[in-house]
Each structure stands twice: as structure tokens, then as C-alpha cells.
Amino acid sequence: MDFFKKPLINSTRDAVYHTLKDQILSLTLLPGATISEKEMSVSFGVSRTPVRESFVQLAQEGLLDIYPQRGTVVSRIDLELVDEARFIREHLESAVIRLACLSFPDESLRLLQMNLASQKVCMDEQDYKRMFELDEAFHRTIFEGCKKMNTWAVIGQINVHLNRTRMLRLATDHHWDELYAQHGQIVDAIKEQKPDTAEQLIHAHLHVGIADQALLKEKFPTYFK
């Protein structure tokens, strides 16, 4: 076998999987909604097999609940899980930012500064969708510089559960200006190698704009467990 070539992404299963995942995370498919393999297979114009395999994957990630012979439901948001997702992210990100202050490649530092510049532009243009992507890229770059991409992947997995609550307060203020200012301070702390300062900043940073869970649950009772 010749394993030099990487596996392709041109499988219908992958397409269905990503489409479904996007729809769930964007709340196009609402928490608690019942879906079926058949329904999705006709909607996508494929057979049940790739749909079913996508269901299995999504169930493993906690985005679907499969009840054998009864039905499949988009998982309701588990607030305890959301809390812990935040807990996990905060502590891992703290640990990594401290590493970054000890040693950080110049190239990654340049990427951070370029990212900051792009953020400034997006702020002026009020392009919040791209701003969200840049925020993600900013944090990822820190992990990348510390050679902790697997750790970043773990955060990506658990963040899935945070993202839906984030989406629920879409209309509300996301404090992008505050986040932007903090990003700048974080870069400075890395550059000046001040781990304690950096950790404190990250801590505050990740606590900006946390949704009031009680309020959300009151507003969308059926979306929660």
C-alpha cells in the first residue's frame, strides 16, 4: 500500500456530516428538533447510508441523540456541559499562554500582529462574521506557536457546545472593541514575556460577554435540557 497520498475529502458522508454540523451549530436545526435518516437522505438526494454514518459521528460528539427504533433528536443544550467547556478552555488557554511567554517563534508573533491589523479593519467595517473568524485564528495562532495544535483541537471539540449559546445571543453586543483591545495587550505580554500578566489577561478575556444562562433558558426553554 502506498500511503503517501492523503485521504480525499470528496466523500458524500463528509459533505453530509459537515452540512448537518453547520446547520446544528448555526441553529438552523434547532435543539430538540426531531430528524430522521430518511428525511435527510431525500433532502440531500443521497441514500441513507452516508446520512446514517454522519448521524453516528454527530451522536458521538453529543450533537445528536439517537433513540433506536424511535427517532433522532438534535441534542438540547446542556448548561452544565457549557460551563465545563468554558472551564476547560480557560485552564488550557492559561497554560498555553504562559508557555508562549517563555518562548514564542518570531513568525507566529508576526502572524499575531498581522491578525491584529486585520481585526482593526474589520472593526471599522463592522464585519462581525469575519471578526469572529479572526478571533478564532488569533487564539489558534498562539497554540500553533507553542506547538499545541492537538490541544487546540480538543478545545475545538468542546467549543461546539459553547457555540450554540453564543449563537443565541447573536443580536446582543459581542464587545468586539473590548476583545480587540485585549488581544493587543495579550500580544504585548507575549512579546515582553510576562506570563502572570498574560494569564490574567486571558482570564479576563474569556469572561467577556458571557451569556446569562438563566436568562437564555427563560427565553428559549425548549432549547435546553
Among 13, 98, 140, 194, binds DNA (CB under 7 A): 13
Based on CB atoms, which residue is closest to a second copy, 121 or 153?
Answer: 153
Whole-number Å distance between alpha carbons of 180 and 208:
11
Q: Determine, following the binding rule CB under 8 A, whether residue 206 of this chain makes contact with a second copy.
A: no
> Which cell numbers hold the place of 48?
441513507
Contacts of 106 (CB under 8 A, 6+ apart): none
Which residues between 18 and 57 bind DNA (CB under 7 A)? 35-39, 46-50, 52-53, 55
| Strand bridging mode 34-35 / 71-74 | antiparallel
81 binds, among a second copy, DNA, none (CB under 5 to 8 A by kind): a second copy
Q: How many residues bind DNA (CB under 7 A)?
A: 26
Among 45, 124, 150, 214, binds a second copy (CB under 8 A): 150
Which residues between 120 and 159 bind DNA (CB under 7 A)? none
On whether the CB atoms of residues 94 and 199 are closer than 8 A, the answer is yes
Coil/strand/helix, residue 46? coil
Based on CB atoms, which residue is closest to a second copy, 22 or 188?
Answer: 22
- The Cα-based distances of 192 to 92, 185, 203, 204 in angstroms read 21, 10, 18, 19
Q: How far is the CB of 27 from DNA (least distance, A)?
A: 20
Whole-number Å distance between alpha carbons of 89 and 8:
31
Q: How far is the CB of 38 from DNA (least distance, A)?
A: 4
Which residues between 60 and 79 bind DNA (CB under 7 A)? 66-72
> Which cell numbers hold the place of 81?
456541559
Among 151, 163, 182, 197, binds a second copy (CB under 8 A): 151
On whether the CB atoms of residues 205 and 112 are closer than 8 A, the answer is no
On whether the CB atoms of residues 159 and 90 are closer than 8 A, the answer is no
Radius of gyration of the chain, Cα coordinates, nearest whole angstrom: 20
Among 33, 46, 66, 160, binds a second copy (CB under 8 A): 66
Residue with cell 428559549: 220
Kindly list the residues in this chain that would bind a second copy in the complex (CB under 8 A): 1-3, 7-8, 11, 13, 34, 52-53, 56-57, 60, 65-68, 70-71, 73, 80-81, 84-85, 87-88, 91-92, 94-95, 147-148, 150-151, 154, 158
Kindly list the residues in this chain that would bind DNA in the complex (CB under 7 A): 1-2, 5, 11-13, 35-39, 46-50, 52-53, 55, 66-72
